[in-house]
Amino acid sequence: MRNAYVLLTALLLAMSELALSNDTPEVLADNQRLSALHDEDQADRILWRKKEISSKTLVERDESRRREVKQMLATARVRTAHDFFCAALIFHHGQTVDDYRLAISLAWLSTSIDPETKDYAYLSASTWDRFMMSQGKPQWYGTKCRHDTKQPGKDELYPVDETAVTDIDRARFDLKPLQTMREHIGEPIRVSGGSNTC
């Protein structure tokens, strides 16, 4: 399975080079179905938080979306920065290290194609942190929280490797300084004012 993800990553990198090439005469259009899958992913999370769908239903719908996006990737229907962003978010909500590994690659492609869009940059940091957490390692950027074991009902920042990146690096990914995020758990963590919390 890992070899398949390595091959897919290489293919995606090659495709991003094509998308960035000045020799490409056409302007690529965003994949509307992929945008719809992204919107479904987000809507399902709202329903889940309201307890209108179960965790089991959410996981099943996520898996169905990942299957469809894999087909799109295999048939070169993920081509624009927005496409890669939507696909990355869908795999960001995966269940395996390989899902998170692919999410990282997709998020980085979206950021490489369009480095000015803050949502793409933020997702690149967030996917990396989730990937690290999935392996039991400290996160780098500070985008993830966990329940505080000492104070039930409260959250705390998931452990951070404070030597991995600096606050200057965090700012490049639209994140506030680490100490600010640590002191204001549950508040927005993005510099641009996005509503994301840890």
22 in any annotated domain: no
Do 114 and 39 share a structural domain?
yes
What's the whole-number mean pLDDT along residues 23-32? Answer: 78
Give residue 186's pLDDT: 86
Report helix, strand and coil shares of the chain as percent, to nearest 5.
60, 5, 35
What residue numbers bound the domain in which 186 lies? Answer: 138-198
Picking from 109, 82, 71, the residue whose alpha carbon sits closest to that of residue 28 is 82
- Any residues with CB less than 8 A from the CB of 191 and at least 6 apart, and which? 118, 171, 174, 175, 176
Do 164 and 106 share a structural domain?
no
127 in any annotated domain: no
Record the tokens describing residue 146, joined without a space: 């966990």
Give residue 71's pLDDT: 97
Do 40 and 97 share a structural domain?
yes
Do 100 and 56 share a structural domain?
yes
Do 94 and 8 share a structural domain?
yes
What's the whole-number mean pLDDT along residues 88-116? Answer: 97
124 in any annotated domain: no
Report the number of distinct structural domains present in the chain: 2
What's the whole-number mean pLDDT along residues 62-85? Answer: 97
27 pLDDT higher than 90: no
How many H helices and E strands in the chain?
8, 2
Give residue 44's pLDDT: 97
162 pLDDT higher than 50: yes
For the ranges 12-26, 114-128, 138-152, the one whose mean pLDDT is highest? 114-128
40 in any annotated domain: yes
- Any residues with CB less than 8 A from the CB of 28 and at least 6 apart, and which? 19, 79, 80
Provide the CA 101 distance to its chain's centre, in angstroms. 10
Alpha carbons within 13 angstroms on the beta-carbon side of residue 150 total: 1
Do 156 and 183 share a structural domain?
yes
Do 193 and 100 share a structural domain?
no
